[in-house]
Amino acid sequence: MSDIRYLQPTDTSEAMHLSRVAGWNQTEDDWRRVISIAPDGCFGIRTEGRLVATATAICYGKELAWIGMVLTDPDYRGRGYARRLMKRALEYLAGRDVAWIKLDATDMGRPLYSSFGFEDECLVERWWRGGTEGTSARLHGDTVLPLDLDGAAFGTDRSELLAKLSPYGCVAGTNGYAMWRPGEKALYFGPCVARQEEEGRRLFDGFLSAHGGQDIFWDLLPGNSVAVRLASAAGFECRRRLTRMTLKGRGSASPLGNNDQYVYAIAGFEYG
């Protein structure tokens, strides 16, 4: 039986093969970032000299963990690799005494996650817009993130992740912020958090005026109707729907105090 191993930075090129085959938008930088944030929570299975399956688990303190990058090479599916990796990830999180565990499930992965006790929480949608001709504008704003607001939106502190994402592109103010980064297939808009509709609209309009010439992915929560309206009005189309799922990791855990109405764009399926 192939052993489960920790993913290493040297595995990123092989990990990229898995995400490319799946049609995902991650880059090698994305893989390196996940491994750097959670070196003890990134797992892989190697067989016949190849990396054939992966899963990652990022902890945001003890309040929340996020499972992502659950991938298996199509030639090696049906061997139980994803189940073994999920079991290992959950054992790791149990050792960390994490209160809540979440993930964004594809239709293919959802039955597996349900078998571990995960329950549906809400939908997550990927919207896309092709690049259009037009003038570009430079975004102006602060780069000091309103971390208290982000904590209220997401439900816990994720400042380490935001610090690693912000150098790629960020504009912020006291009532919100927006980030973006390169992707394998399209520029990725997110995360974006705003206290009021006006601020969410301002951040998005500023981003689009600067980057509208590129293909863009935007992952949003359809429960935020303002984000849906902004995406639709700007010519974005919904391309994929995933299911956000949750599992109580600690029996005494209190409900997570997140506010999805502040979330205009998530950070990514691997981050939440």
In the chain, the percentage of residues whose pLDDT exceeds 90 is 91
| pLDDT for the residue numbered 144 | 81
> Residue 89 — very low, low, confident or very high, per pLDDT cuts 50/70/90?
very high
Give me the phi and psi of 3, to 5 degrees please: -85, 150
Q: Please write the tens of the pLDDT for every residue from 20-63.
A: 999 999 999 999 999 999 999 999 999 999 999 999 999 999 99
Q: Retrieve residue 205's tokens.
A: 């309009």
User: Which range, of 24-38, 121-135, 161-175, 239-253, averages the lowest pLDDT?
Assistant: 121-135
**Model confidence, pTM:** 0.94
Contacts of 61 (CB under 8 A, 6+ apart): 156, 157
Query: Helix H segments across 96-196?
Result: 110-115, 147-154, 159-165
Whether residue 133 is contained in a domain is answered as yes
Do residues 131 and 54 share a domain? no
Answer yes or no: is 95 within a domain. Answer: yes
What total of structural domains would you count in the chain? 2
Which two structure tokens, joined as six digits, stand for 204?
């998005």
Q: Is 22 inside any structural domain?
A: yes
Asked if the structure places residue 271 within a domain, the reply is no
| Residue of 134 and 112 predicted with greater confidence | 112
For 220-242, what is each residue's pLDDT tens digit?
999 999 999 999 999 999 999 99
pLDDT score of 244 more than 60: yes
Rg (CA), the chain: 18
Given 102, 121, 140, which residue is the final one in a domain? 121
What percent of the chain has pLDDT above 70? 96
Q: Where are the beta strands (DSSP E) in 81-166?
A: 100-105, 119-129
The verdict on 73 and 169 lying in the same domain is no
Terminal alpha carbon distance of the chain? 32
For residue 47, the cross-strand partners are: 50
User: Is 86 found in the same domain as 10?
Assistant: yes
> Could you tell me the residue range of the domain that residue 110 belongs to?
4-121
Q: How many CB atoms lie within 10 A of CB 64?
A: 24
Report the pLDDT averaged over residues 1-8: 90
Contact (Cβ atoms closer than 8 angstroms) between residue 172 and residue 199: no
Domain assignment of residue 42, yes or no:
yes
Specify whether 200 is located in the same domain as 215: yes
Residue 92 in this model has a pLDDT that exceeds 80: yes
Same domain, yes or no: 88 and 152:
no
pLDDT reported for residue 254 = 87
**Residue 11 within a domain:** yes
**Tokens 């499972």 map to which residue?**
67
Do 8 and 31 touch, CB atoms closer than 8 A? no
Residue 272 located in a structural domain? no
Query: What's the rounded Cα separation, in Å, for the pair 228 and 256?
Result: 24
- pLDDT tens column, 170-216: 999 899 999 999 999 999 999 999 999 999 999 999 999 999 999 99
- The domain boundary residue, chosen from 121, 137, 156: 121
- Is 203 contained in some domain? yes
- Cβ proximity of 256 and 98 under 8 Å: no
- Residue 111 neighbours by CB under 8 Å, 6+ apart: none
- Domain of 116: which CATH number? 3.40.630.30
Task: Find where tokens 């898995």 sit.
Answer: 18
Indicate whether 56 and 180 sit together in one domain.
no
| Nearest to 157, CA basis, from 272, 254, 270, 54 | 272
Domain CATH code at residue 142: 3.40.630.90
- Predicted pLDDT at 140: 55
Q: Which among 121, 138, 164 is the end of a domain?
A: 121
Band (pLDDT 50/70/90 cuts) for residue 134 is low
Would you tell me the crossing angle of helices 28-37 and 12-21 to the nearest 10 degrees? 120
Question: From the CB of residue 125, how many other CB atoms can be counted at a distance below 10 Å?
Answer: 19
pLDDT at position 252 is 81
Same domain, 88 and 25: yes
Q: What is the pLDDT of residue 141?
A: 57
Judgement on whether residues 98 and 132 belong to the same structural domain of the protein: no
57 contact partners, CB below 8 Å, separation of at least 6: 38, 41, 42, 43, 65, 66, 67, 89, 92, 93, 101
